[in-house]
Structure 1
Amino acid sequence: MSAVALVYTLFGSREAALGMARQLIEERLIGCANLLGEATSLYEWNGVLEETAEVPVLFKTTPSRRDALMERIAQLHDYEVPAILALPVEAADNAFAKWVGDQLAK
């Protein structure tokens, strides 16, 4: 098992993603976040086919904080049903994994 956990979610704006990432860093739930380029999401919501521009984000944390991170994202997210997914990490560079752990230990 890796010493790093990845949690993925999407936001309706870059500002919302940045705000969440900053808060989660301050709360020591993540070591860092990667805001990816705008994505187009297609899904059915309340019987209507939606096409929405969203900002995907990868949050890096430790396996021991993963579940707390997912719960906190759900509490703070402005979506009614946000996609919050833990992605498997088979291995991580030791120096990077140590850095992530050190960020959460401050």
Structure 2
Amino acid sequence: MSGIVFLYVTAPNAETAARIARSLVEEKLAACVNIHAEMRSVYEWEGKVEIGLETPLIVKTTTAAANAARDRIIALHPYEEPCVAALPVSPEGSSASFLDWIRGATKT
């Protein structure tokens, strides 16, 4: 039985986030993707501190599909270095039926 992973991703805008999310769900690389409201990001890039707006996503997938989902996100993403971070989900304290739903909706 595959574990569950949430991928934290940021996109430059809601349209890009929706395009990535739709692809992942259609290709069964994720059961669900939450697209959050725009946020402000402060980061250093090429020696300069930048402040910009980004749209965060939480991609709900399995450990078996996580690498393929990551690769698809990177392929679709316009950033030179997109944020894609895998966060393992502990079954303790999680809804077992929800985790089963993710497994069932995701290609492994």
TM-score, normalised on structure 2?
Answer: 0.89
Q: Provide the C-alpha distance between the structure 2 equivalents of 1:39 and 1:2, rounded to a whole number of angstroms.
A: 32
Instruction: For residue 2 of structure 1, report the CA deviation from its aligned partner.
Output: 7.6
Identity %, equivalent residues: 37
Provide the secondary structure at the position in 1 that maps to 2:106: helix
Preserved contact between residue 2 and residue 90 of structure 1 (Cα < 8 Å): no
Partner residue of 2:3?
3
Q: How does 1:1-106 map to 2 (within 5 A)?
A: 3-91=3-91, 92-105=94-107
Gaps in structure 1 of 5+ consecutive residues? none
Local SS of the residue matching 1:75: helix
Size of the aligned set, in residue pairs, is 105
**Distance in 1 (alpha carbons) for counterparts of 2:31 and 2:5:** 10
Deviates more, 1:93-102 or 1:10-19: 93-102
Q: Tell me the alpha carbon deviations over residues 21-47 of structure 1, each in whole angstroms, 9 at most, x when there is no partner.
A: 001111110000111122111111122
CA RMSD across the alignment: 1.6
Runs of 4+ in 1 over 4 A off after TM superposition: none
Tell me if the contact between 1:12 and 1:54 (Cα under 8 Å) persists in the aligned partners.
Answer: yes
Per the normalisation by structure 1, the TM-score is 0.90
